[in-house]
Structures are given as structure tokens and as C-alpha cells.
Amino acid sequence: MRKAIFLAFLAALSSLLTSCGSTGTGGCGQCIASGVPVSLTMTDDPPAGVSVLFFQVSLTAASLQPAVGTGPSISLLNGNTPIQIDVTHLQALSAFLSTANVPEGTYGSLSLTFANPQLVILNTSDAALGSSCAVGSICKLTPAVDNSATVNFASTPFPITISSNSPLGFLVDFHLNTVIQSDLSVNLGAANGITLAELPAAVPPVPPPFGFLTGTVGSIGTSSSGQSQFTLATPWGRTFAVDVNSSTVFVDFPPCASPGILGCVATGDIVLVQVASVESDGELPAAKVILLSSQTTNQSVVEGTVVGFNATQIKLILHNQFASSAAVPLGGVATVTLDKGTAFSVDSGGFTIPSGFIFSGFNNLTFGQDIRLAVDPGTMSCAISNVVTASGWEPPPVCTFSTNNVQLEPSQLSGIVASINSSTSSFTLGSFPSIAFAAGPPIVLGIAVDTTSQTTYQGFTPDNFSGVANGDFVSVNGWLFETDNGILDPAITPPVILAQTVTHHTAGVF
């Protein structure tokens, strides 16, 4: 399972290089007033016998090394603020993490340092793991890190030259099934466990490659150049300037009195921004802005992956939280009680959902779906166990709450293309890595992937449905729909995924 994290490091224009002096790892990126934008993104692959439901790791340092003898290293994390990354949610998407100003010049390597891995798994093997995680149970592990926590990249695409007015992006590819060892330790230095590539330029109609960024809207106004703009504060303490224009698409915002370009965006809104590019001044033009939680309602909203359900309750692995007064333990297990009359809907994000794809009640739930739920005020309760075994195992945090609103969100699924039906623009995934979707009953018949004229393709030749071939290793970002209203076993009638994006991993392996 490959999951991409896009970490955008901006190597800024070098007109004020001399103002910086020596840097070290402390972050000259904060003292260079201008430079060339350089960026970094990341993607992911788990061992047999377990289903990885949640894997989080912190990026604590990123250092760009100039060519030998030409100067000191450059920190690409402003203030060296650690960034927590949920790798398991990035199979078909990328996450924009940071920008930094970097002097022009030739650079020979990049080093990344990680810390505090957290692993939540479903034990689908035939024996207890670590004598503490029983067969069929969900368990949390703080795995040991084998070898060094720092990974160095000194081969292709290095050496690399950073030039004025030429923002540069790196894609870090995180292969979980290589990094996570058979004993569930983590070896960041495993061969091809983490790989690096220069981010290619976007070619329409392929979506921008710079990834997605979630945060809280701060000030709203205009930039020094007169561009409509808002600031966005991330959960890890960074603030970005986001530019919008007439081409920016706004999704899920309610009607407002002054629609305009920014009329419906309010301070305190929590939004998801699709970054279109990175400007030489470090500002981020937005291709799309999606409202996740409105400051006008200030209602707590969480997202998670379905790992169990019945007519009255849903069990989730928690992946995201928006606008809550109390922190929700991500990677925890939540049991959610459905209010009478709970509304079910599809969060289409501007994508037209064809007729026949239904999500209107609990009968349309299936394992592996990603859903967003509004938390009934005053119902959230979480308990965190302090019992940790010598081998690092512990029960995951457990939460309970109730909801009156459930929205189906795009899930991500990776596998091998087994068959193609050109007449219906669909294909079947017939072989899967052990990923979060495997939390449900085993899929024995494969999963149908339906596409429409709105589906976008990345990494194919050509980048459309005709580029898909049998044997391709792909990741699909789309909505999982139950096909029989919950009547039959999912192993007999697997769900259908309606593809929003299909990504081809040319060098991907399980």
C-alpha cells in the first residue's frame, strides 16, 4: 500500500542570500527574505496476517544538503515544528505539509527524520500477536524503530539545481508493507521502504500535484499584489497564505449574502484546500476549497473508517477531527449510536453521483467506508488505557458518542487491476495489499471500480480510462457503495467503488 505525503519545501529566490549567514539545522528558511520554492509530498504499502488501520508518524526534521563544499545544510521545516502524518489515509491522495525558502544553487541530498510511530491493527492472523493482541481484535502498538530514524536520499533526483522563479517539489513515497517488518517493528531504512522523486508538473485535466492542506481560516483580505487571500492555520502550528481567484472551486459552502470570491468563507471555518501550486513568495494558490466545519455552527465533526456496524451503531477507526472543544484520540476506536431519524447522505464534493448509487441508511453501510459524522453536543466520551506491555502493545483509545448526521466520504483502495470492461468504463481490482479496507470480511470476488467522465487519472499513458491495463497496481480514491442493501455477506457481494481519482503506481509493489 503506497501512501503519498506531499511536503512542499519552497526554495526561495536568492537575492538576499547574504542576509542569512550560516544556517545549520535551525532553519535558514525563515531568515531568507526571498528564494525559490521547493516542496515535498509523501505516499504509502503492511505485512501479511494483519490489517493496518492507522499508522501515524511525526516528521521532526528535513534537511537539504548543498553540493559538497558549497555551504551549510538548509532546514525545510520552519521552526523545526514536528508534523504528524496519518500515512494510512494517503493511498491515492497527497498531503501538503510545509514550505521553506531555500537559496539558489546545486543540492546533493535530502535527509528526513521521523519519530513516534503509532500503529493500530486488526489481527487477522491465526495467533495472538506479542501475547497481547488476540486474534480478531483491534490493538495499538508503539513499534520499535530499527536502525536509524533518519533517512538520507543522495541518488536520483539528486544532484538537483534550484533556480530563480522555479518552485521545486519532492514526492516522498512511503511503502508501509516494506517499512513495517514481520515482527511489526519499523525499519525506515529498508530497501525501497521510503523513496523520493521530483514532483512532476500538472498537465490539465489532471488535478494539481501539490496535495491537500487542512486548517482553520484566520484573516481574510487581499495580498500585497491585490490577490484575494486568507490565512490558514494548520493543526501542527504553521500558518499559510492561501490565494483564491475566479478559477478556485468552493465546495460545500452554504449560500451567503455576499458570495464573491471569498464572500462565503468566514474566520474560524475549517477547510480542506487543494493546493494548485507554490508561488515564489511562498503563497499557495488554491484549486479547490472544501468546507469541513463552519464556524457558524461550531459543531464537532469527526471522520473515520467503518470497521463494524448494526442497525443502531457504527464502529469507526478515527482519522480526523474538526471543530471540537476536546481533543479526540486519532487512531482510537469509536462506537457511535445513531439517533432516531439520523440523516445519511453522500458528500459528493462537486462530483456528480450517478443514479443507482445510494447511501440513505444503515443498510448502505459496508466495511472500509470513510464517513464524516456530526457529534451530538455533550455526548463525546473517550477513555485512554495506561496499560502498555513491555513489547509496546496496548488497547487503543475508546470513544463513544451519538450522531444525527452521517456523510459518505471518498475512501481509498489499492490493488491490482484484474479485468477491464471498456463498454462500461469499469475495471475490477482482484488482488489487494493488507490495508484498512481488509478490516471487513475477506473479499473473494474482487471489487468493481466504476468510472465516469469526471474521473481523473494520474500516472497512466494516456491519462484516461484507455491507459488502464490488466496488472496495473493502482490506488482509487472514491465512494464505496454497498450493492445489496446489506442483505448478503460482503464476501459474496463486495461493494462498488465510484472512482473520483485513479492513480497508477509504476514501481509499486505490495
**pLDDT tens, residue by residue, 28-84:** 233 233 345 454 444 443 345 677 888 889 999 998 899 876 678 888 887 667 888
Q: C-alpha angle with apex 264: 262 to 267, nearest 5 degrees?
A: 85
Q: Check whether the bond before 462 is cis (ω within 30° of 0).
A: yes
For the chain, how many structural domains are there in total?
Answer: 4
Q: Domain check: are 405 and 416 in the same one? A: no
Element (H, E) at 480: strand 473-481
Residues 245 and 152 in one domain: no
Indicate whether 403 and 418 sit together in one domain: no
Span 115-163, pLDDT tens digits: 989 988 888 777 787 767 888 888 898 888 877 889 999 998 899 888 8
Domain end call among 141, 174, 198: 198
pLDDT score, position 37: 47
- Residue 16's identity, in one-letter code, is L
Beta bridge partner(s), residue 136: none
Let me know: does 506 contact 499? Beta carbons within 8 Å.
no
For the segment 379-422, what is each residue's pLDDT rounded down to a tens digit? 999 998 777 776 778 889 999 999 999 999 999 888 889 999 99
> Is 232 or 171 the better-scoring residue by pLDDT?
232
Q: Are residues 31 and 136 in the same domain?
A: yes
Closest CA to 107 of 61, 74, 62, 150: 74
CA of residue 401 relative to chain centroid, distance = 25
Q: Which pLDDT score, from 0 to 100, does residue 257 have?
A: 65
Domain of residue 284 covers 212-293
CA 443 to chain centre: 24
- 3-state helix/strand/coil string of 65-92: EECCCCCCCEECCHHHCCEEEEHHHCCC
Is residue 199 within 8 Å of 171, Cβ to Cβ?
yes
250 and 283, same domain (yes or no)? yes
> Quick check: 452 pLDDT over 70?
yes
Specify the pTM. Answer: 0.83
Half-sphere exposure of 140 (CA within 13 A, CB side): 22
- Residues 500/455, Cβ–Cβ less than 8 Å: yes
Question: What's at 294, amino acid-wise?
Answer: S
Residue 339 falls within a domain, yes or no?
yes
Query: H-helix or E-strand containing 291?
Result: strand 284-293
174/253 same-domain check:
no
Residues 401 and 466 in one domain: no
In a domain, 510, yes or no: no
The region of weakest confidence among 19-33, 230-244, 355-369, 411-425 is 19-33
Q: Are residues 7 and 101 in the same domain?
A: yes
Write the DSSP assignment of 95-164 as a string of letters: B----EEE-SEEEEEEEEEEEEEEEEEEE-SSS-BTTTB-TT-EEEE---EES-SEEEE-STT-SEEE-T
- Is residue 204 a part of any domain in this protein? no
Place of cell 503506497: 2
Rg of the chain over all Cα atoms, to the nearest angstrom: 22
Alpha carbon separation from 4 to 45, 243, 281, 418 (Å, rounded): 10, 24, 25, 24
pLDDT tens-place string over residues 259-274: 677 888 999 999 999 9
Of the residues 343, 377, 409, the one at which a domain ends: 409
* pLDDT tier at 425, thresholds 50, 70, 90: very high
Alpha-carbon span 352 to 454, nearest angstrom: 8
For residues 148 and 216, state if they share a domain. no
- One domain, residues 238 and 268: yes
Asked if 371 and 316 touch (Cβ cutoff 8 Å), the reply is yes
> Among 18-32, 245-259, 443-457, where is mean pLDDT lowest?
18-32
- Beta-ladder partners of 380: none
The enclosing domain of 455 has a CATH number of 2.40.50.320
Q: Count the neighbouring beta carbons within 10 Å of the beta carbon of residue 134.
A: 12
Q: What is the pLDDT of residue 47?
A: 44
Amino acid identity of residue 226, one-letter, is G
Q: Where are the beta strands (DSSP E) in 348-443?
A: 370-375, 381-383, 393-394, 398-409, 411-421, 426-431
For residue 509, being part of any structural domain is answered with: no
Q: Are 406 and 371 in contact (CB under 8 A)?
A: yes
> Buried (b) or exposed (e) across 236-275, using 16+ Cβ within 10 A?
bebebbbbbeeebebbbbeeeeeeeebebbbeebbbbbbb
DSSP 8-state assignment for residue 95: B
Is residue 77 assigned to a domain?
yes
Does residue 16 sit in the same domain as residue 119? yes
Domain edge (last residue) among 167, 198, 229: 198
CATH number at residue 221: 2.40.50.140
What's the pLDDT band for 182 if we cut at 50, 70, 90?
confident
Within a domain: residue 203? no
In a domain, 162, yes or no: yes
Domain check: are 91 and 159 in the same one? Answer: yes
Residue, of 102 and 243, whose pLDDT is higher:
243
% of the chain beyond a pLDDT of 90: 30
Tell me the three-class secondary structure of 156-217, residue by residue: CCCCEEECCCCCEEEEEEEEHHHHECCCCCEECCCCCCEEEEECCCCCCCCCCCCCEEEEEE
User: Which residue intervals of 269-428 are DSSP H helices?
Assistant: none
Is 206 a domain residue?
A: no
pLDDT for 507: 56
Could you tell me whether strands 212-222 and 74-75 are parallel, antiparallel, or unpaired per DSSP bridges? unpaired
What band does 6 get if pLDDT is binned at 50, 70 and 90?
Answer: very low
Query: CA–CA separation, 432 vs 443, rounded Å?
Result: 9
Amino acid residing at 70: T
Q: CA-CA distance, 241 to 280, in Å (whole number)?
A: 12
Cis peptide before 159 (omega within 30 of 0): yes
pLDDT at 290 over 70: yes
